Amino acid sequence: MSIRTMNLIVYAALSVLSVLVIRAVSEIPVTMPGDVGSGFLPGFLAWLILGLCGLGAVRAVIAGDVGAFTSEYLGRVLITIAVIAGFLLSWETLGYFFVQCFLFQFGLFTYYRWPHGPSARLFAVNAAVAAGITALCYVTFTFFVFVDL
């Protein structure tokens, strides 16, 4: 995909967001004399974003194609996002944070370091680092920050 296309997609998405904001705040009444009301600033900003997106879109079209919008290792980023989402869902529904914290890190370490080649040492190092970080989190957040995870 070209940078111009990506720019236009983002402008379109922001324009849709702005329209939704304008619709959401248009019904808010003004209750205080002299005041512009609760909806004024969000509404004004949404119109401003619409205008700037229009300006940006015209500029993007005039400027022409300036290169490709690519991302190296896209699969790795998407898999990581999916793993984070899975971890959040699992934490929210099952609990046992510190067990899951260890598994989350061990899984990611192993996935990222897989190109080194699977070996007993790799798994042992990954498990040791994951356990160390989990222990540090446990001590910090249980005894110093007092958060019930």
Partner 1 sequence: MDFLTNLDLVMLGSAALSIMLGLFVGMLFGALPGLGLIIGVTLLLPLSYAMSPVNSILMLLACYQGAEYGGSISAIVLGIPGTAMAAPIVLDGREMAKTESPGKALAYSLYGSTFGGIFGGLVLIFFAVPVARFALKLADPEFFLLGVVGLLAVATFGAKDFVKAMISVALGLLAGTVGLDLFTGSSRLTADFFELYEGLNLVAVAVGLFAFSEVFMMLSSRINKAYTFEAHHMKISLTFREMLGALKAMISGSAIGSFMGVLPGVGSTVSCWLAYSTAKATSSTPEKFGKGSGEGIAAPDAANNATVGGALLPFLALGIPGSASIAIIAGAFIIAGIQPGPQMMRNNPELIQTIFIGFMATTVGMFFMGKALTQVFVRALVTPNSFLVPAILISSLIGIYSSKGQFFDLWVALGLGIAAWIVRRLDYSVAAFVLAMVLTPIIEVSFRRALVLSQGDYSIFYTRIYSQVILVAIAVVLGFAVLKTVRRLRDARLAATTKEVTQ
Task: Decide whether 92 or 120 has the Cβ nearer to partner 1.
Answer: 92
Q: Is 121 in the site for partner 1 (CB under 8 A)?
A: no
Encoded tokens for 32: 């205080």
**Smaller CB separation from partner 1, 120 or 148:** 148
- Find tokens 């402008």 and name the residue: 11
* Cα angle, residue 143 at apex, residues 139 and 148 outer, rounded to 5°: 95
Contacts 24+ apart (CB under 8 A), 104-110: 105/129, 105/130, 105/133, 105/134, 106/130, 107/83, 108/80, 108/83
90 in contact with partner 1 (CB under 8 A) = no
Figure out which of the listed residues 12, 61, 68, 88 binds partner 1, where binding follows CB under 8 A: 88
CA 58 to chain centre: 28
Give min distance, CB of 133 to partner 1, in A: 5
State whether residue 88 is helix, strand or coil: helix
In the complex, the smallest distance separating the C-beta of residue 120 from partner 1, rounded to whole angstroms, is 18
Residue 34 Cβ vs partner 1, minimum distance, rounded to whole Å: 4
Distance CA 120, CA 47 (A): 59
- List interacting residues with partner 1 (CB under 8 A): 3, 6-7, 10, 14, 21, 24-25, 28, 31-42, 45-46, 48-49, 52-53, 55-56, 59, 63-64, 66, 69, 71-74, 76-77, 80-81, 84-85, 87-88, 91-92, 101, 104-105, 108-109, 112-113, 115-116, 129-130, 133, 137, 141, 144-149
